Copies of this chain bind each other. A is one copy, B any other.
Amino acid sequence: MENVISPRSGTSFTLKKGQYLKVIDPQGEQVSDIYCFNQSNKSEFLSSGRTLDYNEGIHFGKGSLLYSNQSNIMLEIVEDTVESHDFLLTPCSKDTFKHFYPDETPVPGCHGNLVSALSPYDIPEHFIGTTFNIFMNVKLDENGKISVLPPTSKAGDFTIFKAHMDLIVGLTACSAGESNNFSYKPINYVISDQN
């Protein structure tokens, strides 16, 4: 079953060890932020810093492993038609909207949407750190300056993750203009036992 996350919103679900999560960009140029927790210990969560360290790089694609703050593998990318993702930046939030889009009415952003979506699992807001930003196209120039460019994902592109432990997962359709070429689209996802 293909589930739909409406534009500028988020959802949550559990994923069993060994299950697959396919995240699809149905229209193209749309970012989706993912964050996850060990289902049996919510103090263990996705860690950008640990993952960058073990990955020895900031680029991710098929075969990449995403680690927890306790150095355990949470997710493995097993298929990927995009291979352009970001794991440097925090999810957009009311605060980042005020900073980057001072003329717009602030929306909850992926951070706020993750807080709401994960509330049934009693996840405290401050446990939600730097998300893995699927399809987000972040470039660094030779001086280390960050640019956020339109995603390279086309309609129907996808990334498939395999769970390496029982997880609570939060997933969004990103709300930030710059990240999505200034048009807000849905994100689809499929959970399955077989890839």
A residues lining the B interface (CB < 8 Å)? 43-45, 47-50, 52-54, 56-59, 69-71, 88-90, 93, 95-96, 99, 124-127, 129-130, 140, 143-146
Contact: B99 with A71, CB < 8 Å?
Answer: yes
20 further A-B contacts with Cβ under 8 Å, apart from A47-B129, A48-B49, A57-B145, are: A43-B125, A43-B126, A44-B126, A49-B88, A49-B90, A49-B130, A52-B88, A52-B89, A52-B146, A53-B90, A56-B145, A56-B146, A57-B144, A58-B140, A58-B146, A59-B143, A69-B90, A71-B93, A71-B96, A126-B127
Given contacts A58-B140, A124-B43, contact A71 B95 (CB under 8 A): yes
In the complex the two chains form, is B95's CB within 8 Å of A48's CB?
Answer: no
Task: Determine which residue in A59, A125, A129, A143 has the highest number of CB atoms from chain B within 10 A of its CB, and name it.
Answer: A129
